[in-house]
Structure formats: structure tokens, C-alpha cells
Amino acid sequence: MRKITLILLILFWGWGSNAQNIEDILNYQLKDEVKTELVPATFKSIMLINSHTTKLPDKGEWVLLISHRFGNFSSGFSDLWGLDLATIRLGIEYGLTPTTSLGFGRSTYKSNFDLFAKQLILRQSVGEKSVPMTLALLGVANITSDKWPDDGRDYLFAHRMSYTLQLLASRKFNRSISLQLMPTFVHRNLVATPADHNDILAMGVGGRVKVSNRVALTGEYHYVLPNQTAASIVNPLSLGVDIETGGHVFQLFVTNASAIYDAGFITETTSKWVNGDIRFGFNISRTF
Amino acid sequence: MKKLILSFLLFLAFTVLYGQKYFTRNGYVRFFSETPVENIEAKNYQASCIVDLETGEVVSKMLMTAFQFDKALMQEHFNENYVESDKFPQAILKAKIVNLKEIDLSKSGINHVVLEADITLHGVSHHYSINGTAENQNGKIIAQSSFIVKPSDFEIKIPKAVENNIAKEVQVSVKFELEPLKSKQ
């Protein structure tokens, strides 16, 4: 009798499992399905503030970038706290493949042209194949088209050139926090003083904290390794806010740098935060 | 005792054969938002679905990140700003076939199917009555449907700046090819 009861119990249990929620059966069918997913949207824009990010335009996309840096706040009323002055960069970046982009820009600072290429090496992902960070390599060539000073020296075309090689390593820690490290090598064919080295090494760090779906606080700092530059050169520090609306990203910030290309703002920034020599700036990017 | 074991095994076989369920993991779901400003289309080829023809129960699940858009930026905005896929990765439909008695999938021909469905997406559930068709094609069930959802049904907020870019009513089209579910055990 006990055996029969047991069998009956098993039978009822069988019935129970048959009548179980079909959602469980669906989940059971799907349970061995683990896919690799790329972590999306580590940064909203191709630019952090002054620096590039590991975000690239998608294949075939154009990103137009308009950047402004006003004058120092400390310039006072006569220049309306810097708003009368501006350096500008107009830039464009094109997605050649999902992992390669090419771009160029023109800055009023030193009448500089920049040509650059960004290559993704590794992309942060989760799932079957888990990769902890995104790595990209950035190469920039700059040509200044400023008139040479009339000082009797022989200037060569090569003197117009400077170069930046930068590794961008970013990680999205969670939906709001993303950080990026930027070890940077800058080579300048011509420098201003004997104290300035032609080759400069720097370490940049930056990131963002999203405060809502469309608004993020951003910051970045580049530490130029000591004894490479003239005493007047300081490290660039920038703090800002990103606002995203549809295809546009508006980036508003304060910074002590006035150049808007890597070799410029990393090695030629002279304004000090402690003196209030900071300026308002913005980037507007539009994806086509 | 042997008889009992035998009857138990028979019972198992019976339940496996009789509980006729159909399943797919490659269902196609498309949504389309049409406005004078722009059209937005996204396709998901990885929707899963199970149908129990005994009880008329239907459950379907899909990952929001599996929706593919023409533009990568649209896909990013969809996941980041609208459906918040990191918080709510899946859309789930739980439905009951209301006209189960009228459906005969043993012979060829198109059956009209009416579903009373709860769709959960972006952490919000909404009830829909969905009309569709089902057809037996060589042992597979081809299920198709088209219906309207509203972003507001799921408390998806659309900022003023892009109000005119996203339709108030979004067309959803579904095509599932369901195969008889073989027990994995």
C-alpha cells in the first residue's frame, strides 16, 4: 500500500511538472544560450572634453564636431570674462569600418590642421566572451600653418609638424560610471624653448558619471611627466557636463587649455586653475 | 511492482507525447515608427516563443539589445534612453489563445487566432488583444501577427526635442516558425 501511495505521489508529481508554467519550459530551452554582448555607450560622444574617447562613428557615419574655447574668466570685464575671445576647432570624423575611423580638423590655435585615425583593438563585452575594457589606438598628425616669425632663421616645412600617439583604455563600470586612461606620446619637430623636449610622455585620466539618461558629468586630466617642458607649462584639467538630445551631444565645460588638439593642450597649456585662469568651452557633435 | 514501473514509464511517455508544445528561438519581431520627420525600424531575429496547444498558453521573450536598427546611434538611444535595456533587458509576452477551440492545426489552411496578452517591457505591463494567424506548414506552425503598441503604454518617456521623431503608435509585426518541442531530458 505504501508503495502504491509512493507511485501515486510520483504520478501526481509528474502531472504537476507537466502542468508547470510553460514559461519555465521556455527558460529551460533557453538556458544554454549564452551570447557575447558588446558593452554599449561607454561614452556618449567621440570626445571626452579635450580628449578623444573610445567611441567611434559607426561604419559610414559622419560626426561633425564644433568646438569652442573662450578666453580666461580672469580677463575681466574688458573682454566680458573671456567671452570676447575664442579659439575654435571644426572637425569631422568618419567611420571607415565599425572599428576604424578617420578624421581631420582645423583649429584657429596656431592655425593648426590635424589628421587622425582611431583604431579599436579590443571591445568591452560580457557573456560567453568577457572582455574587461575597450582599447583603442589614436594617431594624430598636426600641421601648423601659422606664418613664421621674421627672425632670420631658416624654418623648414617639417617644423610645422607634430604628432600624437595615444592609447585609449576605457571601461564602463556600470550604467553611469565610465573611466578612461590615456597614456600619450607627443612628438614635436619644433619646440619653443630649450627646456621643452621634442618628445613628451603624459598620462591622461578621464571619465563620466551619468546623472540621468541624457546628462552626464565629465572630467579629464593629463599628467605630463616631470622635467619635459618649460616651467610655464601646466597640466590641463577640464570639468564639464554632457547633454544629449537625439543626434546631438552638447558638451559644456571649464578648462585651462586653449588648444583643441592633443599635441597642443597636453604640451602647451599655460593657464593655471589656481589663478582663476580657466575658460568656458563647448563641443557640439552631430552624427549624420 | 514491475507493472507499476511500466505504467509509470507509460505515463511519462504519454505526457511527453501528449503535451503538445511548439517552440522557436529564432522568431522575427519588427517594429516600425513612422513620422513625417523620420521612420525608425528595428528587427529582432532572436525572439523565443513557446505555445501550448493543450492549454492555449503562449509565452514569448526577447532581448531588447537584439533589436537591430539601420543606424547604430538609434540602437544606442533605444537601449540607453528609451527602454533602458541594462535595467530591463527583456520584453516578455504572456498570452492565452481565446479561440483555441476554433483552431485546427492538423490540416492545412490559415487559422485566425485571438490572443489576450500581457506584454511586459521597460518594467511595465500592458494588456493587449492581439489578432493573428496560424498555419501548419509541414509540421511547423507559422504564426503571424501585427498590432499597435504605444511608447506611453510602457512609460517610455520621449523628450520634447524629439517628440516629432517618434510615432505615438508603433507598428509591431511578428513572424514565428514554431517547431514541435522535443523534450531535452
User: What pLDDT score was predicted for residue B11?
Assistant: 58
Degrees, nearest 5: CA angle A111-A274-A201: 55
Q: Is residue B50 part of a domain?
A: yes
User: What pLDDT score was predicted for residue B22?
Assistant: 93
Residue with cell 513620422: B35
Residue B87 sits in which domain range? 23-180
Q: What distance in Å separates residue B132's CA from the closest CA in chain A?
A: 21
Q: Is residue B173 part of a domain?
A: yes
Res. B163 pLDDT band, cuts 50 70 90: confident
Torsion (CA) A120, A121, A123, A124 in degrees, nearest 10:
-120
Evaluate whether A251 touches A260 at the Cβ level (below 8 Å): no
Q: Is residue B165 part of a domain?
A: yes
All cell numbers assigned to A232: 610655464
* Amino acid, single-letter form, for residue B145: S
pLDDT > 90 in chain A, percent = 66
| ipTM entry | 0.74
Q: What is the mean pLDDT of chain A?
A: 89
Q: Is residue B15 part of a domain?
A: no
The answer, yes or no, to whether residue A7 has pLDDT greater than 80, is no
Res. A200 pLDDT band, cuts 50 70 90: very high
User: Alpha-carbon distance A213 to A225, whole Å?
Assistant: 36
What lies within 8 Å, CB to CB, of B81 at 6+ separation is A213, A214, A244
User: Alpha-carbon distance B176 to A5, whole Å?
Assistant: 43
Identify the DSSP state of A131: B
CA nearest A35 in B: which residue? B66
Tens digit of pLDDT for each residue in A49-72?
A: 999 999 999 999 999 999 999 988
Res. A5 pLDDT band, cuts 50 70 90: low
Q: Is residue B79 part of a domain?
A: yes
* Amino acid, single-letter form, for residue B110: I
Tens digit of pLDDT for each residue in A228-268?
A: 999 899 999 999 999 988 778 999 999 999 999 999 999 99
Evaluate whether A126 touches A134 at the Cβ level (below 8 Å): no
Q: State in Å, rounded, how far the first CA of chain A is from the last one.
A: 78
Of B115, B142, B109, the residue nearest B127 (C-alpha): B115
The answer, yes or no, to whether residue A88 has pLDDT greater than 90, is yes
Mutate to test the interface with B, among A3, A29, A56, A285 (most CBs of B within 10 A): A29
Q: How far is CA A117 from the centre of its chain?
A: 14
The tally of domains found in chain B comes to 1
Instruction: Name the residue facing A245 among B52, B87, B161 (closest C-beta).
Output: B161
Residue with cell 602647451: A268
Residue B67 belongs to domain with CATH number: 2.40.128.110
Q: Is residue B12 part of a domain?
A: no
User: What pLDDT score was predicted for residue B185?
Assistant: 42
Average pLDDT for B47-68: 93
Task: Set out the domains of chain A in order of their start, with CATH numbers.
Answer: 34-287 (2.40.160.40)
Q: Is residue B92 part of a domain?
A: yes
Q: What is the mean pLDDT of chain B?
A: 88
User: Alpha-carbon distance A269 to A235, whole Å?
Assistant: 7
The answer, yes or no, to whether residue B8 has pLDDT greater than 90, is no
The answer, yes or no, to whether residue B71 has pLDDT greater than 60, is yes
Q: How far is CA B94 from the centre of its chain?
A: 8
Average pLDDT for A160-173: 96
B-contacting residues of A 197-226, CB under 8 Å? 213-214
Q: Is residue B18 part of a domain?
A: no
Largest CA distance in chain B: 75
